[in-house]
Amino acid sequence: MRLASALPCTLLFLASASAQLSLPDTPYTPPDASNGTQVTNGSTPNAQWSTLLGNLLYFYDEQRSGKLPSNERVPWRNDSALDDGKDVGLDLTGGYYDAGDYVKYTYPLSFTIMSICWGALDVGQGYDLANQTAYLDDMLRWGLDWLIKAHPSPNTLYVQVGDGNLDNAYWGGDRDIPYPRPSYQVNATNPGTDVAAQASAAFAACSALYSNRTLSASSSTSALRNTTYASELQGHAQDLYAFAVNASGGMQTYQTAVPQSAEAYASSDFADELAVAALFLALSETSSNATDYYADAVKWYYSHNLGAQLKAGSETVFNWDSKTPGIPILAAQLASVYPDVVSGSNATLQTWQQVVEDYFDIFINIRGRSYLTDGGLIYFPGDSDEASLNPALNIAMLMMRYASAGLATSTSNQNRYEQFVQGQVDYVLGKNPMFVPYIVGTHPNSPANPHSAISTGYSPPNANASQLVAPDNLDAVPEQEAYVLYGGVIGGPDPHDQFWDLRSDWAQNEVALDYTAPLLTLAAHALASGSGDPYYTQVRAGAYDEVRPGGSPCDAAVQTGCKRHGGLSKGGKIAVGVVVSVVGLILIGLGVFWIWHVRRHRKY
Ligand SMILES: *[C@@H]1O[C@H](CO)[C@@H](O)[C@H](O)[C@H]1NC(C)=O
Ligand SMILES: *[C@@H]1O[C@H](CO)[C@@H](O)[C@H](O)[C@H]1NC(C)=O
Ligand SMILES: *[C@@H]1O[C@H](CO)[C@@H](O)[C@H](O)[C@H]1NC(C)=O
Ligand SMILES: *[C@@H]1O[C@H](CO)[C@@H](O)[C@H](O)[C@H]1NC(C)=O
Ligand SMILES: *[C@@H]1O[C@H](CO)[C@@H](O)[C@H](O)[C@H]1NC(C)=O
Ligand SMILES: *[C@@H]1O[C@H](CO)[C@@H](O)[C@H](O)[C@H]1NC(C)=O
Ligand SMILES: *[C@@H]1O[C@H](CO)[C@@H](O)[C@H](O)[C@H]1NC(C)=O
Ligand SMILES: *[C@@H]1O[C@H](CO)[C@@H](O)[C@H](O)[C@H]1NC(C)=O
Ligand SMILES: *[C@@H]1O[C@H](CO)[C@@H](O)[C@H](O)[C@H]1NC(C)=O
Ligand SMILES: *[C@@H]1O[C@H](CO)[C@@H](O)[C@H](O)[C@H]1NC(C)=O
Ligand SMILES: *[C@@H]1O[C@H](CO)[C@@H](O)[C@H](O)[C@H]1NC(C)=O
């Protein structure tokens, strides 16, 4: 049974302008975090969700690299990294800094852009309602225009600008970013199948958005329509897919060609990117070969046995590395809206619905390797140990997408999905044992110490690259961050729902392009579906200070003086701990030293 869409279809009030949207004369800027306590329930569109959506988009302005435009909204940002690409005779300035530092990575960036375009295809009305569509356009183009520069010829793609190790040794503002900033590429003889296919998927998803393709019965952000831009993006999508599939060097993960990328973003596989790229090409391609792309996607899915990653016990997350859970969902959307594209295939709408609902059932009935924390966050051991909110937000986003497209095969499943999504979103927005809404600058209890060099305002005494030293104590230098990094979704609490708000703790406190992305789509959905206030209007300011844990966290970032709360204090683990502690401390000490230097940043 197909259910009618949960979204109202009457909200398409914006005129169908076709130009690059001009930004409002009075720019949107985030209000003070104290605003997060105002109850606005009943306002239409919901004022709190509109503010949240605006703040989340503003985060990407804060992360901009290159020469900033005259209408840049973030008063404390400066032009930066203006020589990017000079080492290879190209202009690779622009784009976005990936996370808390100043490296630019194509792989997670293009995942982020794909995710946001996909969300706008689903619930673009949310952006319209919040008057944020022009900022969405601006945000996407700042990323896409850089990806275009990074793809100067069909078989060349730049995948990283900047040196991760050098960058990790620098903790300062955007005026003294250390050099050199080398540019790394993949090409026909040294290919990167995953990164090329992922960039193709981003271009194709956004081409579909800019050409006003429809992905669910009620979606549309027709204000973005620009056929010139859409076909430019489509050309890059096609070329990159052909490069991924047919490179003379064969197929391989991109860190084989560019080992430097493995410091932060080593990819585990490329079949998921190939399938997702082929599906977005099947959506964006209006010619008759859309069916060929769909057939390709089905081929990648079955020949690489991707379905095994969706089974209970080995269920995978959806993130910058792993797109597999998105495949059956996008395929189901496609099969539902464009039955002619899939008509020649044995993989039908029902095929994908079965796969999707089996996968979701793992979380609804908690019968896989993931579990709910005591506070109610879905937790994947390993994946969630660094950035616990990210897997949860991405699962919630996927479930919301499927449910609100009316694809659930029963009303009871539909209800279960909606309930699960609500639980995860509420948790992130403050319904958690810490009383923290985990978005910077949103509520008085929001994190105050994001791991972000750009927002600290710290100036190193000597930024000369040969003398770089990060301050010994990131938590104390400076005492308070100079700038509020509005809209940054941070990593998140530990498996016992505990959160320390320590700047040095990149596992909990780092921000990243891909951390904020799923909440953007969920906020747009909340607006489009007329939700009441985000949970945090009910959270008492100051409540976090009363429960803030003592000691320090135990994770990949912070281990010295580590006093584990919850888990380790229970049962026999302590006894075991005492026995191995002497040897362990020595090994951990050596490990911390090594990890801190080589791998300061997250890698799942
Ligand atoms: C459409 O996008 C292109 C490429 O970015 C841009 O040059 C053009 O101004 C846009 N079209 C209109 C009508 O504004
Ligand atoms: C927040 O503050 C601004 C003024 O800075 C105000 O216009 C707005 O209505 C307030 N409320 C919300 C929910 O953002
Ligand atoms: C969007 O803009 C319209 C027209 O200027 C205005 O009436 C409305 O209040 C704005 N909505 C939000 C959420 O800012
Ligand atoms: C930008 O430059 C100004 C000085 O012109 C400085 O105060 C500010 O901290 C800089 N911003 C960053 C992010 O470093
Ligand atoms: C191709 O990429 C590899 C890996 O980045 C690089 O070493 C090589 O120089 C590149 N080839 C060309 C012709 O630029
Ligand atoms: C975009 O698509 C929607 C729904 O398919 C349609 O109503 C709208 O007119 C289209 N807009 C433009 C500018 O073509
Ligand atoms: C790969 O190469 C084959 C043989 O030339 C060609 O038929 C096919 O269309 C190419 N695939 C893509 C995606 O371009
Ligand atoms: C689809 O057609 C485009 C040209 O219109 C071509 O570049 C592309 O390789 C084709 N894709 C497949 C899978 O045949
Ligand atoms: C579709 O066909 C492929 C082989 O071409 C096979 O591996 C797959 O199991 C089939 N799928 C279904 C749903 O029958
Ligand atoms: C950086 O330090 C090196 C070695 O101390 C020195 O040779 C160089 O001149 C310095 N550069 C700048 C820009 O201060
Ligand atoms: C806000 O409104 C929604 C319905 O729109 C309702 O379910 C919810 O309980 C209200 N919350 C508060 C705090 O009033």
Considering every ligand atom shown, identify the ligand nearest to the alpha carbon of residue 40 and give its number: 2
Which of 14-18, 129-133, 154-158 bottoms out in mean pLDDT, i.e. has the lowest? 14-18
pLDDT tens digit sequence for 309-318: 999 999 999 9
Indicate whether 597 pLDDT > 70. Answer: no
36 to 154, 290, 540, 547: CA distances (angstroms): 47, 45, 10, 20
Indicate whether 575 pLDDT > 60. Answer: no
- In a domain? residue 592: yes
* Model pLDDT, residue 111: 98
d(CA 95, CA 67): 10
- In a domain? residue 443: no
Residue with CA nearest ligand 4 atom 12 = 173
In the block, which residue shows the tokens 């620098």?
170
293 to 303, 336, 485, 583: CA distances (angstroms): 15, 16, 40, 55
253 to 194, 258, 310, 336: CA distances (angstroms): 6, 9, 21, 32
For the residues 347-365, what does the mean pLDDT come to?
A: 98
Q: Where are any strands of DSSP class E within 2-58?
A: none
pLDDT grade for 12, boundaries at 50, 70 and 90: very low
d(CA 73, CA 62): 9
pLDDT grade for 564, boundaries at 50, 70 and 90: low
Pocket test for ligand 9, best of 306, 327, 346 (most atoms within 8 A of CB): 346
pLDDT grade for 576, boundaries at 50, 70 and 90: very low
For ligand 2, say whether the CB of 47 is within 6 Å of any of its atoms: yes
For ligand 8, say whether the CB of 288 is within 6 Å of any of its atoms: no
* Model pLDDT, residue 218: 59
Pocket test for ligand 10, best of 177, 464, 469 (most atoms within 8 A of CB): 464
d(CA 586, CA 351): 53
Cα dihedral across residues 583, 586, 589, 595: positive or negative: negative
For ligand 2, say whether the CB of 38 is within 6 Å of any of its atoms: yes
Alpha carbon of 177 to ligand 10 centroid (Å): 15
Alpha carbon of 191 to ligand 7 centroid (Å): 16
Protein residues whose CB sits closer than 6 Å to any atom of ligand 5: 184-185, 187, 189-190, 257-258
* Model pLDDT, residue 18: 35
Alpha carbon of 135 to ligand 2 centroid (Å): 18
Alpha carbon of 127 to ligand 3 centroid (Å): 11
* Contact status, residue 84 vs residue 60, Cβ threshold 8 Å: no
For ligand 10, say whether the CB of 464 is within 6 Å of any of its atoms: yes
Indicate whether 400 pLDDT > 60. Answer: yes
pLDDT tens digit sequence for 106-125: 999 999 999 999 999 999 99
Atom of ligand 6 nearest to the CA of 223: 13
Considering every ligand atom shown, identify the ligand nearest to the alpha carbon of residue 64 and give its number: 4
- In a domain? residue 306: no
For 366: left if phi > 0, alpha if psi spans -120 to 50, otherwise beta; the answer is: left
The runs of H, that is alpha helices, within 63-192 are 106-129, 133-149, 164-168
- In a domain? residue 574: yes
For the residues 286-301, what does the mean pLDDT come to?
A: 95
pLDDT tens digit sequence for 216-271: 765 556 789 999 999 999 999 999 999 999 999 999 999 999 999 998 999 999 99
For ligand 6, say whether the CB of 227 is within 6 Å of any of its atoms: no
For ligand 10, say whether the CB of 71 is within 6 Å of any of its atoms: no
pLDDT grade for 214, boundaries at 50, 70 and 90: confident
d(CA 259, CA 401): 35
- In a domain? residue 390: no
Q: Which of 64, 59, 60, 99 is nearest to 512 (CA)?
A: 99
* Model pLDDT, residue 586: 45
- In a domain? residue 582: yes
Alpha carbon of 348 to ligand 9 centroid (Å): 10
- In a domain? residue 18: no
Considering every ligand atom shown, identify the ligand nearest to the alpha carbon of residue 207 and give its number: 1
- In a domain? residue 604: yes
Atom of ligand 8 nearest to the CA of 242: 9
Alpha carbon of 112 to ligand 8 centroid (Å): 25
Q: Which residues contact 291 (CB under 8 A, 6 or more apart)?
A: 282, 340, 341, 342, 343, 344, 345
* Contact status, residue 453 vs residue 170, Cβ threshold 8 Å: yes
* Model pLDDT, residue 592: 42
411 to 1, 415, 416: CA distances (angstroms): 9, 6, 9
* Model pLDDT, residue 338: 95
Atom of ligand 3 nearest to the CA of 28: 14
Domain housing 603: 570-604
Indicate whether 4 pLDDT > 60. Answer: no
Alpha carbon of 394 to ligand 2 centroid (Å): 28
* Model pLDDT, residue 465: 72
215 to 10, 212, 279, 394: CA distances (angstroms): 17, 9, 12, 19
Indicate whether 464 pLDDT > 50. Answer: yes
Q: Which residues contact 99 (CB under 8 A, 6 or more apart)?
A: 452, 510, 511, 512, 513, 601, 602
DSSP assignments along 541-564, one per residue: TTHHHHH--SS---SSS--TT---
For the residues 395-410, what does the mean pLDDT come to?
A: 97
Which of 5-9, 182-186, 350-354 bottoms out in mean pLDDT, i.e. has the lowest? 5-9
Amino acid (1-letter code) at residue 563: K
Pocket test for ligand 11, best of 41, 48, 419, 535 (most atoms within 8 A of CB): 41
How high is the mean pLDDT of the chain?
89
Q: Which of 101, 96, 120, 113 is nearest to 470 (CA)?
A: 101
Alpha carbon of 460 to ligand 4 centroid (Å): 13
Which residues face 161 on adjacent strands?
A: 104, 183
Secondary structure in 3-state letters for 438-451: CECCCCCCCCCCCE
Q: 477: part of which helix (H) or strand (E)? A: none
The runs of H, that is alpha helices, within 247-380 are 262-265, 271-284, 290-303, 326-337, 339-342, 349-364
28 to 23, 53, 74: CA distances (angstroms): 9, 11, 10
For the residues 94-100, what does the mean pLDDT come to?
A: 97
Length of the chain counted residue by residue: 604
For the residues 57-63, what does the mean pLDDT come to?
A: 98
How many structural domains does the chain have? Answer: 1
Considering every ligand atom shown, identify the ligand nearest to the alpha carbon of residue 534 and give its number: 11
